Amino acid sequence: MEFVSKDNKVIQIINEKLLPFVRKIDEEAFYPVEFMKEIGLSGYFTSVTKKETPIRLKEITLIEETAEYCMTSAFLLWCHLATLASVRLSNNPYIKNELLPILERGEAFGGTGLSNALKYYAGLEPVRLKAERIAGGYKISGSLTNVSNLGNNHWIVILASVSHRQRVVSIIPVKLDGLVMERKTHFVGLNGSATYSCNFHNVFVPDKWIITKEADEFIKQVLPVLALYQIPLGLGVSKASIKTILNFHPNDVEVYKHLEPQPDELIKDIESIRDTTYKHAKVSDLSIILKDVLLTRLEIAKLTPRVVHVDMLYSGGKAYLNGNDSFRRLRKSYFLQNLSPTVKQLELLFY
């Protein structure tokens, strides 16, 4: 089982800047910023000289390959790439010409606080941030429970409602008067994701940080990208589990023969979802295939826990030890169920 190409440069960066820290990321909430910087320095965030489809394929591959080794770091890449996808939709000259190049060079990083927006547009909860128009910008108040990939030199994409008819999307630096952030490190996994609760108390957001005043249209464009880019998180984790199963536990040994499902079946399912994902990525207007993308997102959310569970069964007693990779994957795989759009949100859509 090879699951197609490897990007040698990414593998080199993973080997040097990520592998030595995987346990520290998981056990000590270590945020792997040097890994992120190296990926940026090597040009993996840039959109210059490339068309939309090759950019998407490059970005999905990056997330998938990273997730094979560390889902937290792959999720951090997702956060930054989701920020880039949001910023690239803006016509605001400051954001396009000044901020985007900085983010694409990896000189600053971004996270998105858009889960609430996704739930709002699915009819599940109200918009948590309220914006009031004032001279030169907006005053924003409210709270977001979890926003990841944040730190001192970071930016956050947020959506706030101005009225029941209008919502705005902006990107703001973390160091702002009235923005109170608190680091969260008591998750069962993903503690290295630099996740913060963000409370906004009359935070002034000038017009130059407004991505768009047409938030409804923005969400239609960005949602399929966010969902598509979540799929390789599950693909990478699943591939790592399959490799563990095959490397350490040959299939022809009697004791493994009666476990269900068998690795061959899981590999077929992973390959099928992977093929579909890369096909989706080649469609230039993703909003046209939104439902297909969301269905594939749901499929990987359901498949990943099955694969990591079988990995646990094959790996036996050692998987029950602290620091074990199979158990780390099992814990982290549940994040895919609870990352918006969550399984419960997706099931509602396809019910």
Residue number of the CB closest to ligand FAD reads 115
Q: Does 338 bind ligand FAD (CB under 6 A)?
A: yes
Q: Does 195 bind ligand FAD (CB under 6 A)?
A: yes
CB–CB of 168/210 below 8 Å?
yes
> For residues 89 and 36, what is the distance between their CA atoms, to the nearest angstrom?
23
Q: Does 148 bind ligand FAD (CB under 6 A)?
A: yes
Total Cβ atoms within 10 A of residue 48: 10
| Residue from the set 67, 293, 294, 339 that interacts with ligand FAD by CB under 6 A | 339
Q: Does 55 bind ligand FAD (CB under 6 A)?
A: no
CA separation, residue 136 to residues 26, 133, 202 (Å): 43, 8, 14
In residues, how long is the chain? Answer: 351
Q: Does 305 bind ligand FAD (CB under 6 A)?
A: no
Q: Does 143 bind ligand FAD (CB under 6 A)?
A: yes
Q: Does 128 bind ligand FAD (CB under 6 A)?
A: yes
Q: Does 114 bind ligand FAD (CB under 6 A)?
A: yes
Q: Does 146 bind ligand FAD (CB under 6 A)?
A: yes
| Residue from the set 13, 36, 190, 293 that interacts with ligand FAD by CB under 6 A | 190
> Nearest CA to 128 among 138, 143, 113?
143
Q: Least distance in Å: CB of 252 to ligand FAD?
A: 40
Query: What does the block give as tokens for 67?
Result: 């997730």
CA separation, residue 296 to residues 58, 64, 113, 149, 212 (Å): 19, 15, 23, 25, 29
DSSP string, 138-158: EEEEEEEEEE-S--TTEEEEE
Q: Least distance in Å: CB of 184 to ligand FAD?
A: 7
Contact region with ligand FAD (CB under 6 A), list: 4-12, 237-245, 276-284, 334-342 = 334-342
Q: Does 192 bind ligand FAD (CB under 6 A)?
A: no
> For residues 92 and 90, what is the distance between their CA atoms, to the nearest angstrom?
5
Which CB sits closer to ligand FAD, 126 or 136?
126
Which CB sits closer to ligand FAD, 304 or 315?
304
> For residues 41 and 275, what is the distance between their CA atoms, to the nearest angstrom?
29
The sign of the torsion formed by the CA atoms of 126, 152, 187, 181 equals negative
Which CB sits closer to ligand FAD, 73 or 193?
193
Q: List, in sequence order, every residue forming a beta bridge with 171; answer none if it has no partner.
A: 157
Q: What angle do CA 59, 65, 69 make, to 5 degrees?
A: 135
Q: Does 147 bind ligand FAD (CB under 6 A)?
A: yes
Query: What is the chain's alpha carbon radius of gyration, rounded to the nearest angstrom?
Result: 20
Which CB sits closer to ligand FAD, 298 or 339?
339
> For residues 75 and 236, what is the distance between their CA atoms, to the nearest angstrom?
11
> Nearest CA to 208 among 141, 268, 137?
137
> Nearest CA to 233 among 344, 179, 153, 308?
308
Q: Least distance in Å: CB of 82 to ligand FAD?
A: 8
Q: Least distance in Å: CB of 217 to ligand FAD?
A: 19
Residues 217-246, mask of contacts with ligand FAD (x by CB under 6 A): ------------------------------
CB–CB of 73/66 below 8 Å?
yes
Which CB sits closer to ligand FAD, 142 or 263?
142
| Residue from the set 145, 262, 287, 324 that interacts with ligand FAD by CB under 6 A | 145
Q: Does 340 bind ligand FAD (CB under 6 A)?
A: yes
* Subset of 69-108 contacting ligand FAD (CB under 6 A): 79
Q: Does 112 bind ligand FAD (CB under 6 A)?
A: yes
Contact region with ligand FAD (CB under 6 A), list: 22-30, 159-167, 285-293, 332-340 = 332-340
Residue numbers at the binding site for ligand FAD (CB under 6 A):
79, 111-115, 125, 128, 143-148, 187, 190, 193, 195, 338-340, 342
